[in-house]
Amino acid sequence: QKNCYPGLIKGFESTICRNTIGVTARMRVALKKFRYYGYNGYLSDRISLTRPIPDFRPDGCRNMSYSSDLPQLSVIFIFVNEALSVLLRSVHTAIQRTPAHLLKEIVLVDDHSDMELKEHLQSFVDETNAQHGPGFIKLVRHHKQEGLIRSRVSGWRAASAPVVALFDAHVEFNTGWAEPILQRIKEDRTRVVSPSFDNIKYDTFEIEEYPLSAQGFDWELWCRYLNPPKSWWTQHNHTAPIRSPALIGCFVVDRKYFEEIGLLDEGMEIYGGENVELGIRVWQCGGSVEVLPCSRIAHIERAHKPYTENLTAHVRRNALRVAEVWMDQYKSHVYMAWNVPQQNSGVDIGDISERKALRSRLHCRPFSWFLTNIYPELRSYSDTIAYGVLKNSLRDDLCLDQGPDTDNAPIMYLCHGMTPQVTARNLQLSIWVRLSNTELAPETAVLAFLNASPLFFFFHIFPFPGDSIISSCR
Ligand SMILES: [Mn+2]
């Protein structure tokens, strides 16, 4: 047919035809894919699987030299309902941009996807293995959805190289990403290493350069990109590893060391918190976590995530597990950030006895050590005496609220008890409330009335660790 041209995904959708359906019909298909995947799957199907992407490595990275006997890698991708072209782009760029002698195998973990991926993926695996040798790509399928956390562990179980790289399946590897990481792990196997991430825009698939950053978290345990620590800036060397409190979730680790320190917390459900738990655990139990500027990977930050309707409930549950196992007296901060009471929280966090046993078996340091030495940017609120919503006593359907995004004036608003209304009160009678624009107002004093007496309240940024935050991630 004259309106058809060969598709970019070899073997499937082998031709794409123009104008066989109208513009509105194509838009409908595109919109459907966007709703389903959280990114522009329609566009992805039309972009080369090995398109070149800009090399954002800082000066100095290109002429670094590495040991001739770096350890081999298993690259593990986990996914559920990922667009085939996006998944294949992850795999193809991994093959193309990892030196062949360092890439032992690729492990694909399908966490019970429901469509497209079934036969198409199998034929891709068969075809690739015919070319690269049997077992080069291993496909692990879950018979029910286990969530991102147990999927990563499944992938680890199937892997056999001395080093494993655990990634989402919506990434594009950049040139030279593997060598700096393998070098750091070869020098010290207790290093857990993350590449630096750039963004693939979910709508246009353009690559957006991200500033060099460490990977941290807030008190809800959502990950946050952080400005690198002062000690890094004073070296004046942009190729140097950046000490990182935690991980956004994609990382590279010595396969056996990962087991020794306890893999991931398989008692967590679906999504969230495991990346923070791993960072805290590695640091408190004698290892280290770092981000390498010379290793870069572009990653799609999806508009929404395909796992489940109520992602937040899982993130909260997983966060409370981390708090209970690792954070000692600081666990109150996590409860406070999620606005749940510390006693009888009403959240079933499952059995944590194994994780507590792991902590004592590994003789890990207290969380206070971690805060002081590794994550001083995370503010703590040790004199908090109460938290929750602050109601107006004259109209108890009105609560203190962070107000509109455009300014830093807290307002009274109909009570809904969600994040923007969580406040805390400390011994000095300050009221802490989240402010919308954290750049403008570190502290704002306002006049309020308590039982008809005038009183100054101090509004503070809560509970995010101030200036060092760049943005949320993954
Ligand atoms: Mn992701």
Beta strands in 279-360 (DSSP E): 288-300
Ligand 1 centroid to 432 CA: how many Å?
Answer: 32
Ligand 1 centroid to 301 CA: how many Å?
Answer: 6
* Residue 275 reports pLDDT greater than 90: yes
Q: Positive or negative CA dihedral for 425, 325, 230, 242? A: negative
Ligand 1 centroid to 439 CA: how many Å?
Answer: 27
Ligand 1 centroid to 310 CA: how many Å?
Answer: 17
Ligand 1 centroid to 165 CA: how many Å?
Answer: 14
Ligand 1 centroid to 171 CA: how many Å?
Answer: 8
Q: Which long-range contacts (CB under 8 A, 24 or more apart) does 139-143 make?
A: 139/108, 139/110, 140/107, 140/108, 140/109, 140/110, 141/110, 141/112, 142/109, 142/110, 142/111, 142/112, 143/112
Ligand 1 centroid to 413 CA: how many Å?
Answer: 34
Using one digit for the tens of pLDDT, what is the confidence trace for 407-461?
666 788 899 877 778 777 766 666 666 655 544 444 454 555 555 555 555 555 4
Ligand 1 centroid to 213 CA: how many Å?
Answer: 17
Ligand 1 centroid to 414 CA: how many Å?
Answer: 35
Ligand 1 centroid to 222 CA: how many Å?
Answer: 13
Ligand 1 centroid to 368 CA: how many Å?
Answer: 30
Query: What's the chain's length in residues?
Result: 474
Ligand 1 centroid to 250 CA: how many Å?
Answer: 8
Ligand 1 centroid to 170 CA: how many Å?
Answer: 6
Ligand 1 centroid to 79 CA: how many Å?
Answer: 9
Ligand 1 centroid to 256 CA: how many Å?
Answer: 25
- And the tokens for 349? 């966090």
* Residue 263 reports pLDDT greater than 80: yes
Ligand 1 centroid to 10 CA: how many Å?
Answer: 25
Using one digit for the tens of pLDDT, what is the confidence trace for 381-412?
766 777 778 887 788 888 888 777 666 667 88
Least confident of 18-22, 137-141, 261-265: 18-22
The label of the residue with tokens 């109208």 reads: 22
Percent of the chain with pLDDT over 90: 62
Ligand 1 centroid to 305 CA: how many Å?
Answer: 9
Query: What is residue 374's predicted lDDT score, i.e. its pLDDT?
Result: 97
Query: What does the pLDDT average to over 278-290?
Result: 98
**Domains, in order of start, for the chain:** 4-44 (no CATH), 53-378 (3.90.550.10), 384-472 (no CATH)
* Residue 88 reports pLDDT greater than 60: yes
* Residue 223 reports pLDDT greater than 60: yes
Query: What does the pLDDT average to over 306-322?
Result: 87
Ligand 1 centroid to 297 CA: how many Å?
Answer: 12
Query: What is residue 4's predicted lDDT score, i.e. its pLDDT?
Result: 60
Q: What is the pTM of this model?
A: 0.85
Query: What is residue 452's predicted lDDT score, i.e. its pLDDT?
Result: 54
Ligand 1 centroid to 167 CA: how many Å?
Answer: 8
Q: How confident is the model at residue 125 (pLDDT cuts 50, 70, 90)?
A: very high
* Residue 462 reports pLDDT greater than 50: no
Ligand 1 centroid to 292 CA: how many Å?
Answer: 18
Ligand 1 centroid to 300 CA: how many Å?
Answer: 6
- Rounded CA-CA distance 369/374 in Å is 8
